[in-house]
Amino acid sequence: MLRDLFKGLISLVKGQPDEQAPPEERRHLVRLKCCIPVELFHSGEGFSATVVDMGMKGMQVRTRTKFEPGAEVSVMHGSESPEFKLRTVRCKVVWCRARRFSQDVVLGVSYHDSNENLDASWIRYLLNCLGLDETTIRQRRQHIRVDASIMTDIYHEEGNRLASGQLVNMSLGGCLVQIPQHVEPSTPVSLEIGPFSSLPVLKVKGKSLDSREDERLGGYLCSVEFNELEAFEVKRVGDYVIRLLQESSAHFQGS
C-alpha cells in the first residue's frame, strides 16, 4: 500500500553544493530522511532492515548484520502498488559503519541495477513523487492530486497579486495551481501556499511554465517551476510535499 511507503517519510535536506555544478547535479545533493522498513537479501538469506536516508544514487540502510564493502544485496519493500512494478532493487555495499551505543550497523549502498529496473522500482517512484527525479512539473501534473483545498496566491515579481487559486499538485521542483485566469509562460512569480494541516504558509519563488484551460474544473491550470532552492527552502517545501503525499495516499488507487 502506498500509505505504508509514504508514512515513513521524514524530511528533505540539501547538502553543500558545488557552485560550479549544473542544477541537475546540485539536485542530487538533496536527500530524503526516512524510516522505511525493508528486507535485505544476500546469498539467499533475508535480513530485516530500515532505510534511513535516500538519494538519487544510493541510500543508507540500518540493520543488525555487517556486510563487507563490495557485497551485493537486494533491497525489497513490502508494499505492492500499480504505480510501480518492482519491489526489489539490486544494490552494492559501499561502506558499513557501527552505530554508537547500539548493536545496529548502517550500510551505505549504491544502486547496482539496470536503468530499466530502477525506472520500474518503488525507489524511483518515491524519488519522482518527491521531485528528486524529474525535469519539469509539466511531466507530473497528474501525479500527486491533492484532495484538500489549499489556497494559493500568485504574485508578480514586484509584489502585485496576479491570481488566487487552489493547489493541484506539488513536488520539490514546482507545483500546479488552478486559477481563474491565464498566465503568460516565463513570467517570474512568487507564491504563497497554505497554511495546510499544521504547516505554516509557504512562500517560494519561481516562473510560470505554461497555462492551459482546465476543462474539468474551469479556469486555468498554471504550471510553476521553482527557482533553485536554498537549504532552508528545501526543508520547507519538502515538509509540504511529504505531508501532501501522506494525507493524499489514502485516495490513490491501490493505496
Asked whether residue 24 carries a pLDDT value surpassing 70, the answer given is no
Task: Determine which of 53-57, 62-66, 167-171 has the lowest per-residue pLDDT on average.
Answer: 167-171
What mean pLDDT is predicted for residues 68-88? 92
pLDDT at 69 over 70: yes
- Which residue type occupies 65? T
Output the CA torsion 204→207→209→214 (10° steps). Answer: 60
Whether residue 91 is predicted with pLDDT greater than 80 in this model: the reply is yes
**pLDDT band, residue 81 (cuts 50/70/90):** confident
Classified by CATH at the fold level, domain 2-130 comes out as Thrombin, subunit H (2.40.10)
- State yes or no: cis peptide before 195, omega within 30 of 0: yes
Averaged pLDDT for residues 202-209? 95
What is the pLDDT confidence band of residue 147, given thresholds at 50, 70 and 90?
A: low
For strand 161-170 and strand 202-213, is the pairing parallel, antiparallel, or unpaired?
Answer: unpaired
The model's confidence at residue 48, banded by pLDDT at 50, 70 and 90, is very high
Whether the per-residue pLDDT at 139 is higher than 60: the answer is no
Alpha-carbon distance values, 188 to 100, 166, 170, 191 (Å): 48, 19, 18, 10
Q: What is the pLDDT of residue 251?
A: 57
Q: Tell me the mean pLDDT in the region 235-245.
A: 93
Per-residue pLDDT at 191: 96
Fold designation for 137-251? Thrombin, subunit H (2.40.10)
Higher-confidence residue of 183 and 255: namely 183
Give the domain ranges of the chain.
2-130, 137-251
From 44-58, 109-123, 208-222, 231-245, the region with the lowest mean pLDDT: 208-222
Q: What pLDDT score was predicted for residue 4? A: 83
pLDDT more than 70, % of the chain = 86
Backbone angles phi, psi at 244, to 5 degrees: -65, -45
Residue 138 has a pLDDT of 44
Task: Let me know if the fold of 2-130 is the same as that of 137-251.
Answer: yes
* pLDDT at residue 99, as a whole number: 84
In this prediction, residue 133 has a pLDDT band, given cuts at 50, 70 and 90, of: low
Give the whole-angstrom CA distance, residue 252 versus residue 245.
10
Cell of residue 22, nine digits: 549544473
pLDDT value at 142 more than 70: no
Mean pLDDT of 216-226: 89
